[in-house]
Chain A
């Protein structure tokens, strides 16, 4: 049984040369059946398993992951957490997640290193400033924190920004959300895994779902590379592989898979203490605790399941970076990688029942689902345990496509996700 982490425990272990730490979670073997089974060991799946046990008191919960937990997008993202969205439905969802993140280290007894250093989305013309004002107003009306910055306020927050008069994307001002920030992505996965394990959840790695068991028209479990597993209720949170699973279950999703890439520079001394995004270039960045600049941008242009990024977009992101921070042209890139993200036409997630009764989905987070992990897990657990929507997830049901009730954040928020 893993102990509770504390400063005292750290000190005690330090004296013993750190030889006494127990594994944070057990690598379980699959049981023949569970009351609830979660597919996908990313943040959303792990959080779902945790909340099934914590909020709904389920004792027999299993989670299957085809590789290792956190090896998908949860371990590949640039860790920006924010709720600066336009529509009330989105702010309700992402602000719920942000609030849960604010208490998560304590809740999980695991330091997820959530640093609320704020995000500035920079605008480059009078017209973009009007867009920025519109979004700021919408955010305030929806009840989350937002502030409109002028040029001076942007430069106070990031003095290294390109201040040249002939800049291609001059700084007019921007949108500020002070509660936004970054967290340690692996810690979110590991923290949920450890807390779920403590509540009796089986975390089963190297176990790929290859089909669904269907009885009387209802999903009664899954076939896996390690045998059949039966389940009372099943939930899937497999991001870029959502369509692969839905094809096994016999339905299609409004999802297209793309590579989204990120990169880090060599570590340097602290020089950027906020998250920055340029509306004009789509490039965004923050500085990690190790000193590396963590850089991201838009989607690759070609639908793909190849877990690597293509050079054309890398070039676009980096030229954006140099426009924003000419000084960073001296830095060397250390690493570059990509994850396969599940993009939905309205840039909003799909949370709800699927056409196969007994199977629920949490997916379609596209380029921005790290920030939503606590809420996504909470809501999928609610659906699986109660077989009905939580009020926050209702608008994100698959039925919105036939009803024409899209939540079009890509157009609404004018920001990269």
Chain B
């Protein structure tokens, strides 16, 4: 069992967390100017990084969303921080 650190609650079992998606995937606006291809990209396309990745997670127990940076091969965690919404 791995432990992730919720920025609000501290270290907890991995089963308390849920993966929410890649960080920095901003919803394109305004909707009426967005092509189906761009919309599909926003909804479905992934970087699916092998190695260091920046991801949104939710701690199901407290309900907070946060950003986690980790290695998707070794599962090493570099940092977790509160999620303030971000632009890339």
| A interface residues (Cβ-Cβ under 8 A, vs B) | 241, 243-244, 247, 252-257, 301-306, 310-312, 345, 401-404
Contact = CB atoms under 8 A, between A and B. Distances in A.
Nearest to A252: B45
Contact of A303 (B13, B15, B19): B19
Contacts of A401: 40, 43-45
Contacts of A256: 46, 48
B46 A252 contact: yes
Main secondary structure of the interface of A (DSSP, over half): mixed
B40 A305 contact: no
B47 A252 contact: yes
Contacts of B45: 252-254, 401
Nearest to A257: B48
A303 B40 contact: no
Contacts of B48: 243, 252-253, 255-257, 303
Interface residues of B, number: 27
Secondary structure at chain B's binding surface: helix, strand, loop or mixed?
mixed
Contacts of B41: 252
A126 to B, nearest CB: 31
A118 B2 CA distance: 38
B36 A254 contact: no
B14 to A, nearest CB: 7
Contacts of A255: 46, 48
Interface in B14-64: 14-15, 18-19, 36-37, 39-41, 43-51, 53, 55
A212 B50 CA distance: 18
A211 to B, nearest CB: 15
B50 A305 contact: yes
A93 B24 CA distance: 36
B14 A301 contact: yes
B36 A404 contact: yes
Contact of B75 (A254, A257, A304): A304
Given A252-B46, A306-B75, A310-B14, 8 more contacts: A243-B46, A252-B48, A253-B48, A254-B45, A254-B46, A255-B48, A257-B48, A401-B45
Of A243, A257, A302, A312, most buried by chain B (CB within 10 Å of CB) is A302
Given A302-B14, A306-B73, A253 B46 contact: yes
29 contacts: A241-B50, A243-B46, A243-B49, A244-B50, A247-B47, A252-B41, A252-B48, A253-B46, A253-B48, A254-B44, A254-B45, A255-B48, A257-B48, A301-B19, A302-B19, A303-B72, A304-B72, A304-B73, A304-B75, A305-B50, A305-B72, A306-B73, A310-B1, A310-B2, A310-B14, A312-B13, A312-B14, A401-B44, A403-B36
B74 to A, nearest CB: 7
Contacts of B74: 306
A255 B75 CA distance: 19
Contact of A402 (B1, B2, B13, B36): B36
Nearest to A254: B44
A345 B43 CA distance: 10
Contacts of B43: 345, 401
Contacts of B55: 303
A156 B13 CA distance: 42
